[in-house]
A and B are shown apart, each in its own frame.
Chain A
Amino acid sequence: MAGLITPMSSNPAESGPTLKVSGLSKSYDKRQVVGPLDFSLEAGSVTGLLGGNGAGKTTTIGMIMGLIAPTCGEIRVFGHDMARERYGALGRMNFESPYVDMPHRLTVRQNLRVFGLLYDVADIEAKIARLAEDLALHDFLDRQTGRLSAGQKTRVAIAKALINDPRLLLLDEPTASLDPDTADWVRTRLETHRRTHNCAILLASHNMSEVERLCDRVLMLKEGTLVDDDSPVGLLARYGRDTLEEVFLDVARGRAGGAAA
C-alpha cells in the first residue's frame, strides 16, 4: 500500500498542516455564530466535527470550502491563504454535503465526467470505472442522477468527492441516508482513501459510532465555540463515559464531565 501514498508537495510554502484555521469567526448582523476557532489538520488524519444542530458545523465547513466568507480569521489549505490563493488549493480538495446536489438530468457517468474535467483528472474514463468499482455504481452509472434513491445519490456524491484523489476531504454527514451495511462499506472506502492518499479528512457527523470508528481526533462545537478537542479515547476517559454519544450529551447539556480538559 505504501507505494500508493501521494507524496507531499516539495514547495516549502506548502509544508506544515494540510489545513490550518486561525482565529476563524463568522457573524451575521453582529451576532456571532461561529468562533473564534483555532485548529489544524495533519495529512492522513481524520478529525470529527461534532455538535448539536446549529452548533456551527456546516458554517465552519462552508468557510473552509470558501462558500461562506469568514468575518475574521484565516484559513490555510496546503499553506495557501484561502482568501487570496484558493485556486492553489482547490484542485487538491473536495467535499460532500447534504446541501449540495448534482444535475438531475445528467447520468451519473456524465456528471462524473464533467467533474473529472473540472478537476483536470487524467484518464477520466478509467477513473470513473475505478470509482464505479470501488463504490458499486455500475448498476446505475448510465441512469439519470435525479432518478436515484437517496442512498445511491450519496454514493455518487462520494464518488464526485473522490474524483480528484483529494488530499483534503470535507464531509458533512456522508452516511446520513445510507443503510447500515452500505454506510459501513462507505466508511471502509473512506478509510482506504485516507490511507492510500495520505488525505486529511474533516467529518461532520451525528453518527457517534461512525466518529469512533473513523476519527483519531474529535472537535466538539457548542454555540459556535470549540469546547473540547481530544481523541475519542481521551474524551471517553475524561468524561468517564462508555460511548461518544454519552459524551456528546454531556457537552450538549452542559454537564461538567469535561472540566478536566
Chain B
Amino acid sequence: MSLSFKRVGAMMLRYSYLLRASRTRILDMIYWPTVQLLTWGFLQTYLVRGGALAEPGGATQAAGTLIGAILLWDILLRGQQGFCFSFIEEMWSRNLPNILMSPLRPVEFVASLVAMSLIRLAVGVLPVTIMAIFFFGFNLWALGVAFAAFFVVLMFFAWSVGLLVSGILLRYGLGAENLVWSLMFCVQPLGAVYYPVTTLPTWLQPISWSLPPTYVFEGLRGVLIDHVVRWDLLAQGLAIDVFLFAAASAAFGLFLQSARRAGTLLQTGE
C-alpha cells in the first residue's frame, strides 16, 4: 500500500478551500479556546479570592450555587438550541421555501419555534432537575416563584439569540450553522454564570450587566447565599430582554429581506 502525498495534499486543499470560504469556520477555531479560557479563568479568580467558600457553611452554599448555575445555564442553552434546531431542520431538509411560500406568517413561524423550544426543554431538562434532587439534594423547584422568574428571563434571552441566529442562517446559509451551537457560549464568561459580576475586570462589568442572564445568575446567588429574591434585578433583566427580543425580531425581518434580495432562499446549502 503506497501513500500518495499528492492525494493527501488534494484532500487538504479541498478542506482549506472550504475553510477559506467560510469566515465562521475560522472564527470557530479561535472562539472555543477563548471561551474556555475566560470561563474557567474567571472561576479560578473567584475561588482564589475566597468567594462563598470563605463564609460559614460556604462550601454547601457554593455547591448549591454551582449546581443551580449549571441547571439554569442548561435551560438557557437548550432553550436557544431548541429554537434554532427546529429552524435548521427546515434548512437541512431543503423545506424552507415550502414554508416561506405557504400562508404561514413569520410571527406564526416564530411562535411554533418558541413552542418547540419549550417542549424540547421539558423533555431534556426536566429529568435532569429531578436527578439533581436525588444525586445532590439540590431542588431547583424549591426556589418557587423565583425560579419561574429566572426561567422567563432566561427563555426570552434564549429566543432572542435564537431569532438572531436563525436570521443569520436565512441570509448566509448553512455555512453559519456553527453559530447555532456556539454563540450562546460567549455569554458563559460574560454572564457571570459561575461567579459574581465583581469577579470580572471593571471594564467588562458594564457588558456583563447588559446581558439578561447576568441578572438571573446574580439573582440565583442572592437566593441561595443571601436568601433574598432580588426582584429589582429580575425586573431589569426582563426589561433588557424585551428590548433584545424586539431588536432580534427586527434583525430577523431584515435578514429575511436581505436573503430575498440576494436570492439565497432557494439555495439554502453551505
Contact = CB atoms under 8 A, between A and B. Distances in A.
A102 interface: yes
B97 A97 contact: yes
A69 B101 contact: no
A87 interface: yes
A103 B93 contact: yes
A87 to B, nearest CB: 6
Contact of A68 (B99, B102, B260): B260
Contacts of B97: 65, 67, 97, 99-100
Given A66-B101, A91-B103, A104 B93 contact: yes
Contact of B95 (A65, A95, A102): A102
A99 B268 CA distance: 9
B7 interface: no
Given A67-B97, A69-B260, A99 B267 contact: yes
A62 B263 contact: yes
Contact of A115 (B98, B262, B263, B267): B98
Interface residues of A, number: 29
B115 to A, nearest CB: 14
Nearest to B108: A118
Contacts of A103: 89-90, 93, 95
From B98, B103, B267, residue with most partner A Cβ within 10 Å: B98
Interface in A60-112: 62, 65-69, 87, 90-91, 93-95, 97, 99-105
A67 B101 contact: yes
A176 to B, nearest CB: 16
A28 B89 CA distance: 28
Interface in B96-152: 97-105
A212 B104 CA distance: 36
A68 B265 CA distance: 7
Interface in B248-267: 257, 260-263, 265-267
Contact of B102 (A28, A62, A115): A115
A115 B100 CA distance: 12
B230 interface: no
A68 B266 contact: yes
A99 B101 contact: no
B25 interface: no
A62 B266 CA distance: 8
A97 B24 CA distance: 30
A184 B112 CA distance: 39
B98 A67 contact: no
Contacts of B105: 87
A105 B90 CA distance: 11
B95 to A, nearest CB: 5
B263 A26 contact: yes
A115 B104 CA distance: 10
B153 to A, nearest CB: 32
B94 A101 contact: yes
Contacts of B260: 66-69
A67 B266 contact: yes
A120 B93 CA distance: 23
Interface of B: 89-90, 93-95, 97-105, 257, 260-263, 265-267
9 smallest A-B Cβ distances: which pairs?
Answer: A101-B94, A69-B260, A118-B102, A67-B265, A103-B93, A68-B263, A100-B97, A91-B103, A90-B103
Interface of A: 26, 28, 58-59, 62, 65-69, 87, 90-91, 93-95, 97, 99-105, 115, 118-120, 160
